[in-house]
Amino acid sequence: MKNIFKMLPILFLVIMTSCKKDKDNSTIAASELSTYQLAVTLKKQTGTDLRLFYFTQNGNEITATLEGLNIKKTQTVIIKNDSFTFDELGDGNITYKVSFAKDVNGNLSFKNVSVTNKADITMSIDGSYISKLSDIKGDFDIYGYTYENMNGPYGLTFIKNTNNWRWGISANNGTYTKISRGAWKGMLDGKAYFALTIEEHYKGIMRPFLLIKGEDANFYKFGLV
């Protein structure tokens, strides 16, 4: 009996420590993500890859959708300590962890973004972008945007009031389907392409860029003219 009483403080400490570990100190609700879009560029052994996260409200739940060139996966968002994790393949092999911060005006930013790939430990986040949907230049079909290639010749143009795009490397028009604000998947000359829009500082100003991952395994960056 004496030994039991001696153990009580230790048991109490273990219980309290466990409760502290499980405590959720989030200041951000999952619903706040519904007005944002996230993008990451990935550094892999085979080159640069591209992922998009966007969010939709389903009843009381927020669903995150991850898109890549040949990938689409959905998952319910669970925020814990201002972070959420996303399992790309649903088998635990490739997982992303995104942590957020919020300023006094309620605007979200990244605190940290990481990826773990059990099959390729060299995979890492090369760039991460968080954008308000209202700030994304996504009306390709309405305004017929033109972009310059940031890494070579041959710009890219969207043909107004159509779902066609033209790239200087081909004499043919490509087609595309919007998947989210400023993001699309399309075809040109029988090859698939996946694109999304970000903004970043360029020569002292914030400039919209179109990032494209091609079926040819290449990664392209275009700046809005």
Instruction: Name which of 16-25, 87-96, 108-117, 159-168 the model is least confident about.
Output: 16-25
Which pLDDT belongs to residue 16?
Answer: 43
Band (pLDDT 50/70/90 cuts) for residue 14 is very low
pLDDT at 116 over 80: yes
CA dist 102 and 79 (Å) reads 14
What's the maximum distance between 2 C-alpha atoms anywhere in the chain?
Answer: 88
Taking all residues of the chain, what is their mean pLDDT, rounded to a whole number? 92
pLDDT at 60 over 50: yes
Band (pLDDT 50/70/90 cuts) for residue 23 is confident
The share of the chain scoring above pLDDT 70, in percent, equals 90
Which pLDDT belongs to residue 3?
Answer: 53
- CA dihedral of residues 147, 148, 154, 160 (deg, nearest 10): 20
Overall residue count recorded for the chain in this entry: 225
Residues 6+ apart with CB under 8 A from 104: none
| pTM for this entry | 0.88
pLDDT (average), residues 201-214: 96
